[in-house]
Amino acid sequence: MTVGSQVKGCYSSIKSVEASLEILANKVQDEQAKQVFEQVEQIISDVKQDLHYQVIELSKQEPQY
């Protein structure tokens, strides 16, 4: 497995985590818990964006994949 494919797999996992956090934030009744879910979702979103840039860069370096 190449580094590029590992990063793509990680990116997919992060997208799933982000979606799950959004669902939890919308379902929870406790306002403090909702804020925590939203804060973590923002952190995950930032990580997702960084990974997206890495996927693009690695795609340029490993065009055969």
pLDDT means over runs of 10, the chain (65 residues): 87 94 92 94 95 90 66
pLDDT value for 63: 66
Confirm if 7 and 55 have CB atoms less than 8 A apart.
yes
pTM of the complete model: 0.80
Provide CB contacts within 8 A for 24, sequence distance 6+. 37
Q: By C-alpha distance, which of 34, 45, 41, 61 is closest to 11?
A: 45
